[in-house]
Amino acid sequence: MEKTSKIYVAGHRGLVGSAIVRKLLREGYNNLVLKTREELDLTDQKMVEDFFDKEKPEYVFLAAAKVGGIHANRTYPAEFLYQNLMIESNVIHASYKYGVKKLLFLGSSCIYPRECPQPIKEEYLLSGYLEQTNEAYAIAKIAGLKLCQYYKKQYGANFISCMPTNLYGPYDNFDLETSHVIPALVRKFHEAKVLNKPEVEVWGTGKVLREFLYVDDLADACVFLMNYYDGDMWINVGSGEEVSIEELANIIKEVTGYEGKIVFNPKMPDGTPRKLLDCSRLKELGWLPKTNLREGLRMTYDWYLKMYCR
C-alpha cells in the first residue's frame, strides 16, 4: 500500500477496526474511507455495491462482524449466522466486482474444530466438529475464509485472510450480556471493587486454557500482512502464550485492585477446552507480537476507566 492509497476499513468503530485505523494513521496512511453502520449497512447488497461503485477503494480491511461471547452466541445464533454471511458476502463480492487491489478478511481462532491438536495449525480447519456454543458464528466465518480463497482461485483476486486468537483492548464490548471473557471480567471486578462486593462469579471451572492477543498487535499484523503476504492459506495471528481462565481472573483482579474472592460456577459452560494457535507461518514471515498479557490488561483497564468511569 502507498501512503496515499485509498483504504476502506469495514467496521472501523469496533475493537479490531478501530485498532487498524489507529495503526494506519500512525504509519502515515492518509486516505482512509470510514463509514458508520448508519451510513452504510453492510448487510444490504445494493448499499454496499453503490458504495464501492462511488468510492472505489484500492484496499479493504474487512473487520466488520457481529461478535459476542458464549451467552450471545447461544442466544442469537440465527443473527450471528445471517448477519455475518451477508456482511462478508457483500463486501468480498463488491471488492472483486469493483477492482479492489487487495482485501484482508478477519477470521477467528474459535472457528477451528473443538477437539483440535495443539498448537493449532492453519490446515486443521474443517478437520473435526465445531464448538457447539459458537457454531453459527464459526460457519459464517469459515464461509468468509473460503470465499476469499475461491475468489483468488477462480478470479485471481488478491484476497487474503488471517485467523486471530482471542482479542482484547480499547473499544472492546463491555456489555455483560454480549461481551467476551476479558471485558466481562474487567467490568465485573471493577464494579465489585466500587460496590465493595465480597465475591465475583466467573463462569465455568476456570481450568480451560486460552491464548489472548492485544488488539493493537493484531492491527500491526494486519497491516504487515496486507503489505507482505499474498498466499492462498489463511494466516494464524496469536501471542504464542496461553493462560487458564483462573489465572486470567486473578491477573484482572490484581490489575483492577479488587480484594474480594473469586468464585467459579462450574454449572456454566467452559467452551473449548484449549485453544493455542501455531503461528510459525507468521513468525517465518518476520512478525512477532509486542505486548504481554499483564501490560495489555493494564492498558485495557486504563481505557475502560477513561471511557466508562468519568
Residue 27: CB atoms within 10 A of its CB come to 13
Give the residue ranges of the annotated binding site.
Answer: 11-17, 106-109, 141, 164-167, 180, 188, 203, 210, 270
Which amino acid is residue 155, in one-letter code?
Y
Helix, coil or strand: residue 45: helix
Give the residue ranges of the annotated binding site for substrate.
Answer: 188, 203, 210, 270
Phi and psi (nearest 5°) for 9?
A: -105, 105
Nearest by Cα to 212 from 247, 171, 264, 175 = 247
* Cα separation, 99 vs 94, whole angstroms: 8
Number of Cα atoms under 13 Å in the Cβ half of residue 246: 9
Nearest by Cα to 110 from 91, 89, 132 = 132
Task: List the alpha helices (DSSP H) in 56-180.
Answer: 70-75, 77-97, 135-155
137 belongs to the catalytic site: yes
143 and 151 Cβ atoms separated by less than 8 Å: no
Catalytically annotated residue among 29, 112, 137, 229: 137
Give the residue ranges of the annotated binding site for NADP(+).
Answer: 11-17, 106-109, 141, 164-167, 180
User: What amino acid positions are annotated as catalytic residues?
Assistant: 137
